[in-house]
Amino acid sequence: MDLERRSLPPGQRPALILVDMIEGFTNPACPLGTECPQVVAANLALLQVFRRRQLPVFFSTVLYRSEEQGRIFRQRVPALNLLTPDSRWVQVDARLSPRPEEVLIEKHGASAFFGTPLADLLQQSGADSVVITGLTTSGCVRATVIDAMQHNYPVQLPKEAVGDRNPAAHQANLFDMHAKYADVVCLDQLLTQLNQEESR
């Protein structure tokens, strides 16, 4: 039975968090990657609106600088060992390259909050809600969504702007997140909301 839930629309100053939109995940040449041009395009559409409105934008990447960072995660998923500082795979997809004023969060686990300054940076930015996008729906996106909600941010999750290697996992996790942690919305609906706020 579905839980009763209430939608929480974006606030006056939402922040955009692009989770791991890096070459290692958007490029199928990497063992961790998948072909996802539609997800990249959806992220770009959101990025353009947030930049035009001068709203906070944060990117995350997965990067390991020592053997201890993410040790168990890397033991479970050995391909993660490719994500070293000198690797092209840790770079944000060139189609979405961060601007100098946009923060790139280095993380070693699933959530963009865990062991990072993201919570403090969101508070400093004055964000009152978050839009979360990226890869992958069942992994790092889900973990970041849950932590954002636990930091008391209403979460908008545009379904076209997230993706997963496993379509079944993608759909199941969208359903579950919408039930408890976030508003899973259509990209066009969210863009309309953001543009309406701009015109007020």
The model's confidence at residue 118, banded by pLDDT at 50, 70 and 90, is very high
The model's confidence at residue 92, banded by pLDDT at 50, 70 and 90, is very high
The dihedrals phi and psi of 98, each to the nearest 5 degrees, come to -65, 145
The residue ranges of every structural domain in the chain are 19-192
Q: What is the pLDDT of residues 152-200, one digit of tens each?
A: 999 999 999 999 999 999 999 999 999 999 999 999 999 999 988 665 6
186 counts as catalytic: no
- Greater confidence (61 vs 7) lies with 61
State the CATH architecture for 19-192.
3-Layer(aba) Sandwich (3.40)
**What pLDDT does residue 1 have?**
65
Phi-psi region of 16 (alpha: psi -120 to 50; beta: other; left: phi over 0): beta
Element (H, E) at 71: helix 71-76
Q: From the candidates 30, 36, 140, 186, which is the catalytic residue?
A: 140
Give me the torsion for CA of 47, 160, 38, 129, rounded to 10°: 20
Q: What is the mean pLDDT of the chain?
A: 95
Angle at Cα 117 formed by Cα 112 and Cα 119, nearest 5°? 75
Neighbours of 73 (CB within 10 A): 14
Instruction: For tokens 């990072």, name the residue.
Output: 116
